[in-house]
Amino acid sequence: MAKRKLPRWQAAPLIALLSALGLFASALPRRLEVFLARILGRLVFRARLFKRKVVESNISRCLPQLSAAKRQTLIRRNYEHYGLLLFEYMHFFSPFKGHWRRYVPTVARMEGFEHWEKAHARGHGVIFFCSHLGSWEAGAASIALSGVEATIVTTVLTPRWLHDKITACRDSVGMKAAYHPGSMPAVLKTLRRGGSVAFMNDQYAAPPMGLPVVFFGTRVDTLAVIGPLARRTGAAVLPLHTFRDANGMTTAVIEPELELGDALDDAAAATQRVASRVELWVRANPENWLWMHRRFKNVVPTA
């Protein structure tokens, strides 16, 4: 049976609520927004809501060296980060035309444009790999506003009105999208004309798109398209590291090209290099990673 979709008219109360939140967020000074968001995060933390068990399990698996006190501090700061994400996402629903484009520079900045410029000049396309660290949506938008024409690989949101709203905000900053499943034709077309595509490489990806590689000491299925795509198209592979600082600002750093070398001929080896880089990012800023994601499904014994 086909999944029933919620018609726009039935979703009217939710749309009205999101529009009200968007209006509220649009009026907030950034410093007050950060303050309120962190209070909200602490309240959710104390109430043990919002996938708390998943967060605790993931952190215990990945960072077993932390004492109980340090683990609780990390979890609290992680929920403060989720509060910030929620407030930032409210801005998608602002009733003011062009608001998202104006808001992004106040919450995110980019570095390393020269690395993309160098790779792009070769004419074979650019493959970004990134993660759910900091405000990844705002970070990607800051990259687009800097002049990097990139296509993000993502999913179609439901219901349709929500998808259209988020897509309009992405369009306003110059972000394009290829939707999976079925994104590869658009990805290949973009790379063959010398464009750029971006993949999120920190989530669970089942076979055949994923291969088991080591991530935080556990062999787990991970998106394995970066190496094969680079080998097939000759595209440069650029790490894109996003992270949030103490003031709530997200920095999106385009790092120097990741040279895959012999790993180009081995999808698992290429994927391992990507996963290892992502792990370094998470270890550097664990408080603002998406620990609530069920990353460790169908794990493979390392022995």
Beta pairing class for 108-111 and 218-223: unpaired
Burial track 60-93 (b if 16+ CB lie within 10 A, e otherwise): eebbeebeeeebeebbbbbbbbbbbbbbbbbbbb
Please write the tens of the pLDDT for every residue from 13-71: 888 999 999 999 999 999 999 999 999 999 999 999 889 999 999 999 999 999 999 99
Using the predicted structure, report yes or no on whether residue 10 has a pLDDT greater than 80.
Answer: no
206 token code pair: 């089942």
What's the CA gap between 136 and 108, in Å, rounded? 9
pTM for the complete prediction?
0.93
- Asked if 8 and 16 touch (Cβ cutoff 8 Å), the reply is no
Using the predicted structure, report yes or no on whether residue 4 has a pLDDT greater than 70.
Answer: no
164 three-state secondary structure: helix
What's the CA gap between 161 and 11, in Å, rounded? 9
Pick from 12, 75, 3, 11: nearest CA to 45 = 75
Please write the tens of the pLDDT for every residue from 96-124: 999 999 999 999 999 999 999 999 999 99
Q: Using pLDDT thresholds of 50, 70 and 90, give the confidence band for residue 12.
A: confident
